[in-house]
Amino acid sequence: MKKRITKKLVDDLTYEIIGAAIEVHKILGPGLLESNYEKALIHELGLRGLKTSAQQTVQVPYKGIPLDCELRYDILVEELIIVENKAVLEMHPVFIATIMTYMKHLKAPKGILLNFNVRNIFKEGQQTFVNEYYAALPDE
């Protein structure tokens, strides 16, 4: 039986994903490449029983044709939440634009932008975003 998709379900998944990111950061700390954090996070999400896909191409439709723009998301969790991993000194506004683009084209209701190059990932290393797909979900 497939779970009913609600805001509560998406928010509960967000809590699990951020918890997994905190665990990865606690063990690995800052200073590694994004790809290292991605592998560890995928493993940690799997340990928590969450289904993930990674580095898949996002097609961008243009006047009836799909453009291969070579856009690849980092992680998609339970086909609902996009997770973009960074390991940077400063977050750039283009990172937000990118995750919002992925959310739009994949019809994902939520996105989480993580930066592992911080002291405390919970306080300064994560941002969440919602869109019209999230707004249209029932609360419970």
Is residue 76 helix, strand or coil?
strand
For 37-69, how does the pLDDT look when each residue is reduced to its tens digit (9 = 90+)?
Answer: 999 999 999 999 999 999 988 888 889 888 878
* Claim: this prediction has a pTM higher than 0.85: yes
Largest CA distance in the chain: 47
Residue 88 pLDDT: 94
pLDDT in tens, 94-120: 999 999 999 999 999 999 999 999 999
**Do 22 and 118 form a contact (C-beta atoms < 8 A)?**
no
For residue 58, give the H/E element and its range. Answer: strand 57-62
Domain boundaries, the chain: 7-135
